Amino acid sequence: MSYFVTGTDTGVGKTLVSCALLHAFAAQGKRVVGFKPVAAGCDEDDHNEDAKQLREAGTVHATYGQINPYCFPHPIAPHLSARHAGSRIDFSRIFASYDELAGQSDEVIVEGVGGFCVPLNEKQDSVDLVKQLDIPVILVVGMRLGCLNHALLTMRAIADAQIECAGWIANVLDADMLAMQENIDTLRERIQVPLLGVIPYQSQPDAREAAKHLQLAPLVKEESDV
């Protein structure tokens, strides 16, 4: 099985959640690997920090290039970052890397870039990528003021695209958020897929610690039903 981890926005904890999922599945004895098809913002070695974390969290040996086929220097929208680099994001290259990783593992955790509808080239966006990969989405909701609107709009976009959503995860970004539990309860009432976990606020994000707060039972049941 594979899952595409998307978020209500950029900076909501997709990498933290993706790595936590890798650790959680690995603890069940699964061969796991992370995949970051597109990254915007890289170091002097043309490597992206999020992709490096995914590689370290996996149990399958894979080259950096397999895990992150597209990495561009500027931390801006990916289609713009690609354009500034004189490049273009081609889905066929992404699919080739994905197939290599899927052939070596039991679980591939694919981390998106930005939000769910972010453009990837002049005609295609992340929605198109998920549809062509044909894998379920896991939505990361960054718990802070404004999250209700962002979460519900993203869920509507997922439903409108007729993409399966396997569940959502609440990642607490604001330790002092007012009515935290009430916000979570509001989303549980309106999002008709399982809540897979609530990750408490972490001043220093730790994926292994975050993994302890995930509930994988709905995903395991889904996989056993396939």
How buried is 116 (Cβ within 10 angstroms: 0-12 exposed, 13-18 middle, 19+ buried)? buried
Q: How many residues does the chain have?
A: 226
Amino acid at 147: C
User: Would you list the domain boundaries of the chain?
Assistant: 2-225
Angstrom distance (rounded) from CA 13 to CA 205: 9
What residues contact 78, with CB distance under 8 A and at least 6 apart? 38, 40, 70, 72, 89, 113, 114, 118, 119, 120
User: pLDDT tens per residue, the chain (226 residues)?
Assistant: 899 999 999 999 999 999 999 999 999 999 999 999 999 998 878 899 999 999 999 999 999 999 999 999 999 999 999 999 999 999 999 999 999 999 999 999 999 999 999 999 999 999 999 999 999 999 999 999 999 999 999 999 999 999 999 999 999 999 999 999 999 999 999 999 999 999 999 999 999 999 999 999 999 777 777 6
Residue of 14, 30, 36, 123 marked active site? 36
pLDDT for the residue numbered 226: 65
- The CATH code of domain 2-225 reads 3.40.50.300
What residues contact 179, with CB distance under 8 A and at least 6 apart? none
Q: How many other CB atoms are there within 10 angstroms of residue 144's CB atom?
A: 19
36 flagged as catalytic: yes
Angstrom distance (rounded) from CA 72 to CA 39: 6
- The H or E element containing residue 84 is helix 78-84
Angstrom distance (rounded) from CA 4 to CA 83: 25
Q: How far out from the chain centre does Cα 103 lie?
A: 20
